[in-house]
Amino acid sequence: MKALNYSPEHLTSNRRLFWIAAALGVIMMAPVAWIIGLSLKDNAELLKGTEAVFSFPYTLVNYANILESSSVFGWFMNSMIVAVGQTFGVLLLSSLAGYAFARLEFPFRKTLFIIVLFGLAVPEQAVIIARHQMFNWFDLHNTHIGLILPNLSSAFGVFLMTQFFRAIPKEIDEAAMLDNTSTFRIFWKVLLPLTLPAQATLGIFTFLQAWNDYWWPLISATKSDMYTLTIGIASSQTNFAQSEGLGFLGAQAIFASLPVVIVYIFFQRHIVTAVSGGAVK
């Protein structure tokens, strides 16, 4: 045993565990490799049997077909607009509210905060039917706004930002106060920049949630122009042997995931820090 051995990494982890994890990683990737394989095969060949995946020839025809005629681009844009819009909305509302709950005094502050905390416990399912009716009244279905709005009410962001604003040392804004800065300026110029790590965490969570949202877009975005990627891909899974074929569907799945996967590969480090940031508290 070398002296180095007391480092936490060496005590919590070892080679054998690593190789088990690596094996799990291979299992994890197998379905993806399978889909990539299918996407590179001609559909007619696959109809005779999918063992064809393991032998030549391979082709890019499925991808060419997507570029030519698929609606994936439109769905992708809708998903982007909704996810980005929702992320900014949540960050803005949660930061404003979190700041006030954490660092300002106003009447009913505590009561209001407790009410908001209660909101944490309300799952989407408990309100979705009523929301669907409400959005009918205001003709908000099949609009981007209609897709963005519901999740802005999530109390999680406010809770998280309140925690982070609380963690900032009191001296910082008190020093700013001596310079007679307005409350809003203190928030905007002094404190908000300090919460950037928290913003990143909340932002990524919100974005992923919006990107993966299923039920609300399923009943709200009912026109094909307004489909998000999630709903669009679902709609094309219909009766697949009869229509597009496994190769085309595989290509669609790969193609639709490509943008987020690329973003993920480039920003992986940031995303990982941000996600882990959520656990520090």
Partner 1 sequence: MAESYRRSRWTNGLFVVPYLSVFLTLLVFPLGWGIWLSLNKVDLFGGERFIGLKNYARVLSDPIFGQAVKNTLIFVGVSVPTLVILGLFLALALNKTTKGSSFLRGLFFASSILSVTIVTLIWRIVFIPNDGLMALIFNYFGWQPIGFLSTTGWSLFSVGVATVWWCIGLPMMLFLAALQQIPKDLYEAAALDNASRWRVLTRITLPSIKSTIMLVAIIQVVMQFQLFGQAQLMTNGGPAGSSRPIVMYIYEIGFLRWDIGMGAAASQILFLIILCAAMLQYWVSTRKEETDA
Partner 2 sequence: MKKLLLGTTAVSLLALSSWANANTTIELQRFFGACEAEYGKTTDVSAAVGECGIITTLVNKFEADNPDIDVKVTTVEWPGYDQLNAQLASRSAPDVVSMHYSAMSDYQSRGLLVPLDKLLKDQGIKATDFTDAAISSVTKEGKVYALPFDNWTMLFHVNNNLMKKADLMKADGTPMLPTSRDELFAQGKQFNEATGKPYLVQVLANETATYARIFYTLMMQQDSKFFADPGHIDLSGEDAKAALTLMKNIMDKDLSTKNMDYPAAVSAFANGAGGIAVNGTWLIGSYDAQSKQANNALSDGYSVFPVPQFFKQKDATYADGHGWVVPRGDRSDEKMAAIGKLFKFLYDNDYEWSRTGHLPTVKKVIASDKFKSLPHRSDIAKIATTGQALPAGVLRQFAIQDILGEELGSAVTGNKSIDDALETAQYRINDLLENI
- Report if residue 177 touches partner 1, rule: CB under 8 A: yes
Q: Name which position in 87, 160, 173, 198 contacts partner 1 (CB under 8 A).
A: 173
68 interface partner picked from partner 2, partner 1, none, CB below 5 to 8 A per type: partner 2
With H, G, I as helix, E, B as strand and everything else as coil, classify residue 142. Answer: coil
Segment interacting with partner 1, rule: CB under 8 A, options 10-18, 55-63, 64-72, 190-198? 10-18
Residues 203 and 52 sit within 8 Å (Cβ to Cβ): no
Contact 248, 171 (CB under 8 A): no
What size, in residues, is the chain? 281
Using the minimum distance from each CB to partner 2, give the nearer residue, 39 or 87: 39
Q: What count of other Cβ atoms lies within 10 Å of the Cβ of residue 90?
A: 27
Write down the least CB distance from residue 235 to partner 1, Å: 9
Q: Which of the residues 185 through 244 are near partner 1 (CB under 8 A)?
A: 186-187, 208, 211-212, 214-215, 219, 229-231, 233-234, 237
Residue that the structure tokens 């049997």 belong to: 49
Of 161 and 251, the one with the shorter C-beta distance to partner 2 is 251
Q: Is residue 67 involved in binding partner 1 (CB under 8 A)?
A: no
198 binds, among partner 1, partner 2, none (CB under 5 to 8 A by kind): none
- Residues at the contact surface with partner 2, assessed by CB under 8 A: 47-49, 62, 65-66, 68-70, 132-133, 135-136, 139, 141-142, 218-220, 222-224, 234-245, 248
Q: Which of 126, 169, 223, 239 binds partner 1 (CB under 8 A)?
A: 126
Q: Choose the stretch contacting partner 1; rule: CB under 8 A; options: 60-68, 191-199, 273-281.
A: 273-281
In whole angstroms, what is the distance from residue 224 CA to residue 235 CA? 9
Q: Which of 91, 224, 219 is nearest to 146 (CA)?
A: 219
Taking CB within 5 to 8 Å according to partner kind, which of partner 2, partner 1, none is near residue 155? partner 1
| Interatomic CA distance for residues 251 and 28, integer angstroms | 19
Q: Do 251 and 175 touch, CB atoms closer than 8 A?
A: no
Non-local (6+) Cβ contacts of 159 within 8 A are 116, 117, 120
Q: How far is the CB of 74 from partner 1 (least distance, A)?
A: 15
CB of 9 to partner 1, least distance (A): 5
Helix (H, G, I), strand (E, B) or coil at 222: coil
**44 counts as binding partner 1 under rule CB under 8 A:** no
**Does 55 participate in binding partner 1 (rule CB under 8 A)?**
no
Contact call for residues 70 and 252 (beta carbons, < 8 A): yes
Q: Which of 66, 100, 202, 251 binds partner 1 (CB under 8 A)?
A: 100
- How far apart (Å, rounded) are the C-alpha atoms in residues 27 and 38? 17
Backbone angles phi, psi at 244, to 5 degrees: -75, -30
Among 80, 84, 117, 155, binds partner 1 (CB under 8 A): 155
Q: Which of 121, 169, 223, 242 binds partner 1 (CB under 8 A)?
A: 121
DSSP 53: G
Closest CA to 193 of 79, 95, 46, 65: 95
| Among partner 1, partner 2, none, residue 48 binds (CB under 5-8 Å by kind) | partner 2
